[in-house]
Amino acid sequence: MYVAVGQFAVTADWEENARQCVALMAQAARQGAALLVLPEALLARDDNDPDLSVKSAQSLEGGFLQRLLAESLRNDLTTVLTVHVPTTPGRAANTLVVLREGKVIEQYAKLHLYDAFSIQESRLVDRGHQIPPLIDVGGFRLGLMTCYDLRFPEMALNLALAGAEVLVLPAAWVKGPLKEHHWATLLAARALDTTCYIVAAGECGNKNIGQSRVIDPLGVTIAAAAEAPALLMAEIDRERVTQARRQLPVLNNRRFAPPQLL
């Protein structure tokens, strides 16, 4: 199965961002991808207004997603991204959505909010309370995660134990000392923890690193972007998962029960 990962710099104009997403969807479909993963928080971003993503929140019936859903009707892609959805006045949920055949087939409110490195996502964003279900794409079972979830190995482990063979991760990984190193290390670690493929999309721009990657179940990077806009394509293979789990049976060898959601 071919997977695509799109990264771009989100602007302050949601209509421009929707056009960019639609263009990436069309390009990925033309190139034969079954799955497209886009970055986190795609409605709007402004370097001078860190709250714009929440201020610009739209319902799932809003104009942004309706444009993407219209494009979804034209192709066979499963597209994964996140947007902010209003909850109470002035607040929102950072919501991962899965689009297919013109419908939102799954959604997931981010469990782990980025209250770290002098940023407090929870100031305006409500955390989720449920581990997302798995979805099926091209005969693979996919687990859903968002950005900061990557730092919590128990989440990836829960998804793998539930049957995930691929973990998808929309992200907007903030630049900073050692942050690029953290990103690369954690992506490889989660692949090795779970013997899953990792398909991670990073938002690029002045404040976020980009560096989208596809990593195989033995921690090998098979496709990678730098800091500029890009569309990655990679082929993933179920036999590679089977082989990795035969050589490195960490899911069977573990001695601890899986942790529970608090």
Q: Are 159 and 139 a contacting pair, CB within 8 Å?
A: no
The residue from 21, 71, 106, 110 that is catalytic is 110
110 labelled catalytic: yes
Distances (CA, A) of 195 to 14, 173, 250: 37, 23, 8
147 labelled catalytic: yes
The residue from 21, 40, 71, 204 that is catalytic is 40
As beta bridge partners, residue 198 has 167, 215
- The counts of H helices and E strands in the chain are 7, 14
The residue from 21, 106, 121, 147 that is catalytic is 147
Exposure of 156 in the CB half-sphere (CA atoms within 13 A): 29
Q: Where are the beta strands (DSSP E) in the chain?
A: 2-7, 35-37, 78-86, 92-100, 103-109, 115-116, 119-120, 135-137, 140-144, 166-171, 197-202, 213-215, 221-224, 230-235
Active site residues: 40, 110, 147
